[in-house]
Structure 1
Amino acid sequence: MRLFYYSIITLLIFSFSSCKVGRFFVHNVANITDHKIFPNHLIENGDSVFYFTEGREKKPKTIEVNQQEVEFEAFLKDQKTVSFLVIKNDSLIYERYFKNYGEEDIVASFSMAKSVISILIGIAIDEGKIVSVDEPVTNYIPELAKNGFDKVTIKHLLQMTSGLDYNEGYFNPFGNVASFYYGTKLRKETINLKLKQEPGTKFEYLSGNTQILGLILERALKDKTISKYLEEKLWIPLGMEYDASWSTDKKKDGIEKTFCCLNARAKDFAKIGRLYLNKGNWNGKQIVSEEWVKESTKVDRSDGSVRFYQYQWWLPSEDGDFMARGILGQYIYVHPEKNLIIVRLGKNEGKVSWFSVLPVIGKAY
Structure 2
Amino acid sequence: MRIRISAQGVVLGFMLTLLILISLYRHNIQRLSTAITLYDADKISHNFLTMYKAFDATRIDASVKPYYFAVNYQPLPKTFEFDGELMSVEAFLRDSQSHGLMVIKAGEIVSEQYFLEDKAEKQHISFSVAKSFVSALFGIAIKEGYIQNIEQSVTDYVPELIGSGYDGVRIKDVLQMSSGVKFNEDYGDFFSDINRFSRAIAFGTSLDDFCASLKREREPGTYHHYVSIDTQVLGMILTRATGTSLSEYLSQKIWQPLGMQDTAYWLADDKGMELALGGLNVTLRDYAKFGWLYLHQGRWLNARGESMQIVPQQWVVDSITPDANHLQAGENNPASSSADGYGYQWWIPAGADDEFMAKGIYGQYIYIDPDQELVIVKNSANPQYTDNAQRWGPKHVALFRAISQNFAIN
User: One fold, TM greater than 0.5?
Assistant: yes
Identity of aligned residues (%): 38
Aligned partner of 1:363 in structure 2 is 405
**CA-to-aligned-CA distance 1:52-96 (integer Å, 9 cap, x gap):** 111141321222234332332333223211101111100111111
The SS at the match of 1:147 is: coil
1:249 has 2:286 as partner = no
After superposition, the Cα gap between the structure-2 partners of 1:44 and 1:17, relative to the gap in structure 1 and judged at 3 Å, is closer
The CA distance in 2 between the partners of 1:77 and 1:194, in whole Å, is 41
Residue of structure 1 in register with 2:359 after alignment: 325
Report the AA paired with residue 118 of structure 2.
Y
Counterpart amino acid of residue 310 in structure 2: I
1:301-312 maps to which residues of 2 (within 5 A)? 301-302=324-325, 304-307=326-329, 308-312=341-345
Partner residue in 1 for 2:223:
202
Alpha-carbon offset, residue 358 of structure 1? 2.0
Given the superposition, is the C-alpha separation of residues 187 and 52 from structure 1 closer, same or farther in structure 2, using an over 3 Å criterion?
same
Separation in 2 of the partners of 1:72 and 1:140?
47
Q: CA deviation at 1:221?
A: 1.7
Amino acid of the structure 2 residue aligned with 1:263: N
Whether 1:334 aligns to 2:373 is: no
TM-score for the superposition, normalised by structure 1 = 0.89
**Aligned-partner SS, 1:193:** coil
Contact 1:163 1:198 (8 Å CA) reproduced: yes
Give the Å deviation of 1:195: 1.0
Distance (Å, rounded) in 2 between the aligned partners of 1:196 and 1:297: 26
Q: Deviations over 1:312-357 (max 9, x none)?
A: 1011133010011000100000000100000111112765332443
Q: Distance in 2 between matches of 1:165 and 1:35?
A: 29
Alignment of 1:31-110 (within 5 A): 31-33=47-49, 34-110=51-127
Deviation, structure 1 residue 167: 1.8
Q: Distance in 2 between matches of 1:254 and 1:311?
A: 25
Aligned AA (1:196): E
Distance in 1 separating the partners of 2:284 and 2:352? 26
Is it true that 1:266 corresponds to 2:290 in the alignment? Answer: no
| Contact 1:24–1:173 (Cα < 8 Å) also in 2 | no
The verdict on how the C-alpha distance between 1:300 and 1:281 changes in structure 2, with shifts beyond 3 A counting, is same
- Which amino acid in 1 is paired with 2:316? V
Shift of 1:255: 0.7
**Aligned partners of 1:28, 1:54: CA distance in 2, in Å?**
34
The root-mean-square deviation of aligned C-alpha atoms, in Å, is 2.3
More displaced, 132-141 or 49-58? 49-58
Of residues 320-329 and 56-65 in structure 1, the stretch that sits farther from structure 2 once superposed is 56-65
TM-score, normalised relative to structure 2: 0.79
In structure 2, list runs of 5 or more residues that go unmatched: 1-17, 302-306, 330-340
- Secondary structure at the aligned position of 2:237 is classed as helix
User: Which amino acid is the alignment partner of residue 296 of structure 2?
Assistant: N
- Please tell me whether the aligned partners of residues 297 and 315 of structure 1 are also in contact (alpha carbons under 8 angstroms): yes
Q: Which residue of 2 aligns with 1:240?
A: 260
